[in-house]
Amino acid sequence: MTDAHAPDSGQYYVPHHSPWPIFGSVTLFTVMLGAIVYLNDWLGLWALIPGALLLATLFFLWFSTVIDENQRGIYNLQVDRSFRMGMMWFIFSEVMFFAAFFGALFYARVLSVPWLGGAGTKMFTNYVLWPHFDGTWPSNGPGHVGGRADASFNVMNPFGIPALNTLILLTSGFTVTMAHHALRSARRTPLAVWLALTFLLGFTFVGFQAYEYGEAYREMGLRLTTGIYGSTFFMLTGFHGLHVSIGAIMLTVIWLRVLRGHFTPQRHFAFEAVSWYWHFVDVVWLGLFVFVYWL
């Protein structure tokens, strides 16, 4: 359908009617309907399944079309540039999404928790409403929300698994760069190896993170419901982990494409897009490590 007629690659390729956008919208709608009926307790968790299936199908079919068009060489350099710019700005929007949660973290640490402890102009807040709260971080708030049975909780030691994970992600940033170098100098085997290393490191990261979560929930009283600390901790690291997973899956797809002989030393937009994404995930992690775990 999308290949109705392929102009020569000298011309900017404008696809002629495509079913994927509307399919995509219906998919998103289904995903959200599933989430709505689940959250409102109208149906069980299985209500999310149709959406998930559609989503997987959507990605598979839409990307297949694009990859196919790309392999047939109908994208000229200008189209390539469009894709690049598009990806860059998409990543920027992701950065801003994380910024909202970092903002929440800073607000809690610098303003709301100290205020509840009576800092600044909020003396009476502490004196009248929360008389025994000292307002130090980490905190699950003056109401001691969540945590263990006695409302206590522990924070993660930054120099255990988190430091290890930092190392893993930084290494994976290095390996993906090595893969890029290999691609540019047309050395396919090292390319495949470096790339495989990268996503393996990625999945390892996710594995460690899952282990860490398990420990936090079972032993440390650190849960999503553990006041503002737990909220910011899990929302930030959770969304990050989700992005690492997505990134690792994308890297795997790129790896499969490499095995199939896709990409040339000059033209490999998809590879670069995914590696940018990977670096972005990496940088976000550094922010997390410093502001969530360490300081």
Partner 1 sequence: MADSHAHAAHAHDDHDHKPHGWRRWVFATNHKDIGTMYLILSGTMFFIGGLAAMGIRAELFSPGLQFFDPQFFNSLTTMHGLIMIFGAIMPAFVGLANWMIPMQVGAPDMALPRLNNFSFWILPFAFTLLIGSFFVPGGAPAGGWTMYPPLVVQTGAALPMLVFAVHLMGMSSILGAINIIVTIMNMRAPGMTLLRMPLFVWSWLITAYLLIAVMPVLAGAVTMLLTDHFFGTSFFTAAGGGDPVMFQHIFWFFGHPEVYIMILPAFGIVSEIIPTFSRKPLFGYEAMVYAIASIAFLSFIVWAHHMFTVGMPLAAQLFFMLSTMLIAVPTGVKVFNWVATMWKGSLSFEPPMLFALAFVFLFTIGGFSGLMLAMVPADYQYQDTYFVVAHFHYVLVTGALFSIMAAVYYWLPKWTGHMYSLRLGTWHFWLSTIFVNVLFFPQHFLGLAGMPRRIPDYAVQFTDWNRVSSIGAFGFGLSQLLLLYLIIQCVRGGARIGNRAWEGAHGLEWELSSPPPFHSWTEAPSDAMVARGAAH
Partner 2 sequence: MTIRKTLARFALLAVAGVLSLPAWAESGWAQLNLPQGVTDMSRKIYSLHMLVFWICVGIGVVVFGVMIWSLIAFRKSRGAIADTTLVHNTGVEVVWTVIPVIILIVMAVPAARTLVELEDSSKTSLTIKITGFQWGWQYDYLDDGVMYFSHLDRASDAARELGSGIDPNTVPFYLWNVDHPLVVPNGVKVRLLITGADVIHSWWVKDLGVKKDAIPGFINEAWFKVDDGWTGMLRGNCAELCGRDHGFMPIVVDVRSKKDFESWLKSTAAGEKPATPAAPAATSAAAPAAATAPAPAASSG
Closest by CA to 195, choosing from 209, 178, 214, is 178
CB-count burial class (<10 Å; 0-12, 13-18, 19+) for 85:
exposed
Q: Which of 8, 46, 96, 128 binds partner 1 (CB under 8 A)?
A: 96
- Give yes or no for residue 289 binding partner 1 (CB under 8 A): no
Q: Binding mask 127-146 vs partner 1 (x if CB under 8 A, - otherwise)?
A: --xx--------xxxxx-xx
Q: Determine the interface stretch with partner 2 among 14-22, 121-129, 242-250, 279-287 (rule: CB under 8 A).
A: 121-129
Q: Which of 52, 129, 242, 286 binds partner 2 (CB under 8 A)?
A: 129
Q: Which residues contact 98 (CB under 8 A, 6 or more apart)?
A: 236, 239, 240, 284, 287
Q: Smaller CB distance to partner 2: residue 79 or 113?
A: 113
Closest by CA to 27, choosing from 7, 48, 2, 45, is 48
Q: Report 151-210 residues binding partner 1 (CB under 8 A).
A: none
Q: Determine the interface stretch with partner 2 among 21-29, 119-127, 164-172, 259-267 (rule: CB under 8 A).
A: 119-127
Q: Determine the interface stretch with partner 1 among 93-101, 175-183, 206-214, 265-273 (rule: CB under 8 A).
A: 93-101
Instruction: Please state, in angstroms and rounded to a whole number, the distance separating the CA atoms of residues 125 and 30.
Output: 45
CA angle, corner 213, sides to 210 and 219, nearest 5?
135
Q: Smaller CB distance to partner 1: residue 95 or 186?
A: 95
Q: Which of 44, 86, 207, 265 binds partner 1 (CB under 8 A)?
A: 86
Q: Binding mask 134-173 vs partner 2 (x if CB under 8 A, - otherwise)?
A: --------x-------------------------------
Instruction: Please state, in angstroms and rounded to a whole number, the distance separating the CA atoms of residues 5 and 211.
Output: 51
Q: Smaller CB distance to partner 2: residue 122 or 243?
A: 122
Q: Smaller CB distance to partner 1: residue 138 or 162?
A: 138
Closest by CA to 137, choosing from 118, 164, 165, 109, is 109
What's the min distance (Å) between Cβ of 256 and partner 2?
Answer: 52
CA–CA distances in Å: residue 249 to residues 61, 109, 229: 16, 34, 30
CB-count burial class (<10 Å; 0-12, 13-18, 19+) for 70:
buried
Closest by CA to 35, choosing from 27, 23, 47, is 47
Q: Which of 59, 63, 102, 115 binds partner 2 (CB under 8 A)?
A: 115
Q: Which residues contact 46 (CB under 8 A, 6 or more apart)?
A: none
Closest by CA to 169, choosing from 238, 248, 229, 235, is 248
Q: Which of 93, 132, 149, 295 binds partner 1 (CB under 8 A)?
A: 93
- Give yes or no for residue 124 binding partner 2 (CB under 8 A): yes
Q: Which of 27, 30, 70, 125 binds partner 2 (CB under 8 A)?
A: 125
What's the min distance (Å) between Cβ of 143 and partner 2?
Answer: 8
- Give yes or no for residue 39 binding partner 2 (CB under 8 A): no
Q: What are phi and psi of 177, to 5 degrees?
A: -65, -40
> Would you tell me which residues interact with partner 2 (CB under 8 A)?
115-116, 121-122, 124-125, 128-130, 142
